[in-house]
């Protein structure tokens, strides 16, 4: 695992390391699942990944670029709509990281390190699962920032994250 400082555009990195994820039918279908007030799960995952890349780049934190991007893209890959009470799984807030990691392993063969980043993204809801290393802390922070924006911004995160090659 080689750790480097990110210098490139977020969308270039997402396409390079997550092209197979973006084109997977199950991932595309996440755009039908509501996430927060102004987002669906698909747009939330892109939103979080872009913010995580921007933070790592701005703070010059060395990360394993590929794993960092893939774990951020898949951190909420639990594949159901959590607003759909009859069909959502039990204890969604505490357990969806496990569902996401299991689905990501099945569909994309994630590495043990990527699995750990995904499993530990719900701190402090899961207080005993501390974010895993600096990359894990950045993903957790990006998730909180993205969630806040999606709850309170008037512009949908989907509008924000279509064709923005300059970030």
Find out whether 78 and 89 touch, Cβ atoms under 8 Å. yes
Q: Which helix (H) or strand (E) segment is 5 a member of?
A: strand 4-5
CB of 76 or CB of 114, closer to Fe ion: 76
Query: x/- binding map, residues 23-62, to Fe ion, per CB under 5 A?
Result: ----------------------------------------
Least distance in angstroms from the C-beta of 98 to Fe ion = 11
Least separation, in Å, of the C-beta of 7 and Fe ion? Answer: 26
Q: Which is nearer to Fe ion, 65 or 76 (CB)?
A: 76
Of the pair 63, 100, the CB lying nearest Fe ion is at 100
- Residue 149 near residue 51, CB atoms below 8 Å: no
Does 76 interact with Fe ion (rule: CB under 5 A)?
yes
Other beta carbons within 10 angstroms of residue 53's beta carbon come to 26
Task: Candidates 143, 150, 157, 161: give the one binding Fe ion (CB under 5 A).
Answer: 143
Least separation in angstroms between residue 18's CB and Fe ion is 15
Q: Nearest approach, Cβ of 47 to Fe ion (angstroms)?
A: 9
**In whole angstroms, how close is the CB of 2 to Fe ion at the nearest point?**
26
# residues near Fe ion by CB under 5 A: 2
**Measuring CA to CA, how many Å separate 20 from each of 6, 15, 32, 70, 109?**
21, 8, 19, 10, 11
Residues 6+ apart with CB under 8 A from 18: 49, 69, 70, 73
The answer to whether 118 and 75 are in contact (CB under 8 A) is yes
Residues that bind Fe ion (CB under 5 A): 76, 143
């Amino acid at each position: 695992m080689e750790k480097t400082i990110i210098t490139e555009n977020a969308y270039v990195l997402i396409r390079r390391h997550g092209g197979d994820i973006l084109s997977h039918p199950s991932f595309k279908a996440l755009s039908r699942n509501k996430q927060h007030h102004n987002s669906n799960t698909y747009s939330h995952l892109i939103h979080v990944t872009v913010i995580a890349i921007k933070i790592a780049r701005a703070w010059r934190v060395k990360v394993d670029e590929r794993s960092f991007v893939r774990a951020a893209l898949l951190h909420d890959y639990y594949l159901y709509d959590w607003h759909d009470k009859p069909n959502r799984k039990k204890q969604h807030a505490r357990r969806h990281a496990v569902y996401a990691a299991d689905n990501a392993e099945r569909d994309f063969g994630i590495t043990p390190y990527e699995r750990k980043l995904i499993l530990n993204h719900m701190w402090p809801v899961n207080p005993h699962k501390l974010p895993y290393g600096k990359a894990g802390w950045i993903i957790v922070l990006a998730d909180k920032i993205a969630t806040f924006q999606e709850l309170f911004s008037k512009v949908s995160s989907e509008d924000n994250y279509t064709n923005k090659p300059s970030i």
